[in-house]
Amino acid sequence: MNTANKLTIFRIFLVPVFMIFLLSDINNGQYIAAAIFIIASLTDTLDGHIARSRNQITNFGKFMDPLADKILVSAALISLIELGKVPAWVVVVIIAREFAITGLRVLAASAGITIAASKLGKIKTITQLIAIIALLLNNWPFKYVNFPFDKIMIYVSVFTTIISGIDYIYKNRQVLYSDSNK
């Protein structure tokens, strides 16, 4: 197993550790969880860079890397519902988009088409990560100036999630309308 894939596995391993710190009564657990989430998020960038720069792109990595990202973000968002920091409908919209685009990618792959990550998809991911980190840090440092950065970012992430989902579906609509029985 190459270095990039080991980082992906490490990111998945960090998810339950993150959740233990976030949802337990451990002193400063939420801040430790935020640090773990940041580290896990950075491994996504790092494993992609390593895979490309060392020509270590594998089918395992193509499958597991986006799955690890979805597991991390979903776990964080669902946990934030439990903590009362984010409305459930926000999480449903975000996770539903992930299911829809993953389904579209699977359908495309069955037709021999690869759907690459788009610029809007990357913006979506960045806004989600920023929103989650702001929520985990209790809106630090913006809470000191009464600026609801965390709340603004979660709604920005919902907006970019919806827009990027629409963009993926529109640009790849031929996949939905192709007849696989031909």
CATH number for the domain that contains residue 75:
1.20.120.1760
Q: Are residues 95 and 58 in the same domain?
A: no
Q: Tokens 């993150």 correspond to what residue?
A: 18
Q: Are residues 39 and 66 in the same domain?
A: yes
Q: Are residues 15 and 45 in the same domain?
A: yes
Q: Are residues 11 and 73 in the same domain?
A: yes
Q: Are residues 107 and 37 in the same domain?
A: no
In this structure, what token pair is assigned to residue 121? 């998809």
Q: What is the pLDDT of residue 114?
A: 83
Is the per-residue pLDDT at 68 higher than 70? Answer: yes
Is the per-residue pLDDT at 57 higher than 80? Answer: yes
Q: Are residues 166 and 123 in the same domain?
A: yes
User: How many angstroms separate the CA atoms of 165 and 158, rounded?
Assistant: 10
Mean pLDDT of 74-82: 97
Q: What is the pLDDT of residue 117?
A: 81
If one counts the domains in the chain, the total is 2
Q: Are residues 104 and 147 in the same domain?
A: yes
pTM over 0.85: yes
Render 112-169 in DSSP notation, one character per residue.
T---PPPHHHHHHHHHHHHHHHHHHTTTTTGGGGT--HHHHHHHHHHHHHHHHHHHHH
Q: What is the pLDDT of residue 181?
A: 47
Q: Are residues 9 and 99 in the same domain?
A: no
Please give the C-alpha separations between residue 149 and each of 41, 127, 139, 154, 155, in angstroms, as whole numbers: 20, 12, 6, 9, 10
Cis? peptide before 66, omega within 30° of 0: no
Please give the C-alpha separations between residue 65 and each of 8, 15, 123, 138, 164, in angstroms, as whole numbers: 6, 14, 17, 28, 19
Mean pLDDT of 162-166: 97
> What pLDDT digit, counting tens, does each position of 117-149 carry?
889 999 999 999 999 999 999 999 999 999 999
- Domain limit, last residue, from 57, 84, 111: 84
Q: Are residues 76 and 164 in the same domain?
A: no
What is the percent of the chain where pLDDT is above 90? 76
Mean pLDDT of 52-59: 88
CB atoms within 10 A of CB 111: 10
Domain housing 156: 87-182
Q: What is the pLDDT of residue 1?
A: 86
Q: What is the mean pLDDT of the chain?
A: 93
Q: Tokens 């190459």 correspond to what residue?
A: 2
